[in-house]
Amino acid sequence: MKVLVLAPKSRYDTYGPETPTSKAAQLIFCDREGTEAEWLAAGGDADALFVTPVTAISAAFIAQMPHLKLIHSEGVGFDRIDLEAAKARGIYVCNNAGCNAAAVSELSITLMSMLLHRVLWGDRMVRQGHQGEAVRLMEQDIPSDLSLSTVGLIGFGAIGQAVAERLRPYGSEVFYFAPHRRDEETEIRLNARYLPLEELAARCDILSLHLPANTASHHLVNEEFLSCVKPTAFLVNTARGAIIDDEALCAALREDRLAGAAVDCYEPEPAGADHPLVRLAAEYPDKLILCPHYGGLSKSAFRAAHRMLFEDLESVMAGRRPQRVVNDL
């Protein structure tokens, strides 16, 4: 089976599993920043397509691949793939749900702690030779830590649940909102209780986003949402940039209606120097932590992701439905 891969070959050399399927598949590698014409010239006759979550796969491109049976995101996100066009052709679209849950949840908690402990401010003060002054100022306004914080998880899939699990040793009070409430056994195991979204926004000291990008989540964090949030609260987004209305977030931070935010994803990406959050970070360097969307980049996540890719490819090669279908086929 021929597979067009819009990702670096070195990644597959390092993290690809040594299985009969990976050895049997003919992998054709192309630059993910290339054009559709270049991709088609290299692998327009491919049976499967492996793409990064940020690579746009259009209906027009799909239509020009007559043998295509599978489109697989290398990560969790799949919102840039035309799902309806694939479904109309009977092409499976899959993702690697849960592959990076450990890595992203670890970054989420790291960012929570950095916001609570004012790490950016402290780093700046020490670099400027003001360590003593920084300590004296902090003693006048002692920060909370995770053990005293109420954390609200918005989205409670693999990553949201991994965050809840990792918060248990800290003793945080954890609530969650999700479109579908989890069973009682899961809530007890993860020490997390369900709250409606508005109530969760008003109650929690830290709000952490773990939703996929779709029509329901688009700009969920908007002016109305932020009007419910405590001015001492922090916002963390390691999910998707489209969940946040950036202008509303910038206004809340400028007007001290939100204490701070940390983000690892943007709308659009890549974020340039003119992005609203990048401009705001220059104005308020201690309020906003900006990461380059690398929460899911870890060796363990890449090993898991490549294993999942070839598991689903094996199913398609054998004429079976793959495990991780996201377009209702």
Residues annotated as part of the active site: 240, 269, 293
- Burial classification of residue 243, based on how many CB atoms lie within 10 Å of its CB (0-12 exposed, 13-18 middle, 19 or more buried): buried
Q: How many CB atoms lie within 10 A of CB 136?
A: 10
User: How far is the C-alpha of 268 from the C-alpha of 194, rounded, in Å?
Assistant: 31
